[in-house]
Chain A
Amino acid sequence: QSALTQPASVSGSPGQSITISCTGTSSDIGGYNYVSWYQQHPGKAPKLMILDVSDRPSGVSNRFSGSKSGNTASLNISGLQTEDEADYYCSSFTSSSAYVLFGGGTKLTVL
């Protein structure tokens, strides 16, 4: 099963907003509202930032938001801060036997 497709890198300046896309198929992103986003700083474990397409876990800044249209999910980060610089991974439930697919990851650089 192929991974979900994310851009390899995105960048932005402090205070700006950026969007990271995550494209799948009707068997995963398009068919279910089980899209999550994870933040991973170098050498650290992933951290859940968004679940169920657009819900934020307790403690996650409201600068992070998620959405979905068709087979593509998006993570938006507003008011970029230097500590947002990290890798971001999307994931989705899939109806295949793979159960969960991850994206290839996007490196966010805050210039």
Chain B
Amino acid sequence: EVQLVQSGAEVKKPGESLRISCQGSGYTFSTYWIAWVRQMPGKQLEWMGTVYPANSNSRYSPAFQGHVTISADRSTSTAYLQWTTLKASDTAMYYCARLGVPGALDPTFDFWGQGTLVTVSS
């Protein structure tokens, strides 16, 4: 059974750094791209970026480029989403999701993590 299990909720202050994780199981983790998707409170889904665990190749939405870093460690089947300087506007639920075709940037997210709620408040 394919599963993506994300790390727990975080409460941070503006200016702090943070890394959240997404561990995959039930499939060959390194051969499927993993995406991160943001959902601000009561708002729509937004694709942030994608990483290919086999070679750590990454691609970012222009809206998030330079503000977050997406990476993966294939030895632990884990993908990461990282901020160096959080803002209050980063408060949101963050989901990881698997792209549906091995090795391809197929724009279909077939399995999702349970979400990680990040709250940034002074």
Contact = CB atoms under 8 A, between A and B. Distances in A.
Contacts of A15: none
Interface string B77-102: 00000000000000000010100100
B45 A99 contact: no
Nearest to B62: A97
Interface string A98-111: 11111111000000
Nearest to A43: B115
Interface residues of A, number: 25
Contact of B107 (A46, A92, A103, A105): A92
Contact of A34 (B63, B97, B108): B108
Nearest to A45: B112
B68 interface: no
Contacts of B37: 46
Contact of B61 (A46, A91, A98, A105): A98
Nearest to A50: B108
Nearest to B109: A48
A20 interface: no
A86 interface: no
Contacts of B47: 98-102
A18 interface: no
A86 B45 CA distance: 14
A36 B45 contact: no
Interface in A78-107: 89, 91-93, 97-105
A14 interface: no
B63 to A, nearest CB: 8
B59 interface: yes
A52 B95 contact: no
Contacts of A92: 107
Contacts of A89: 44-45
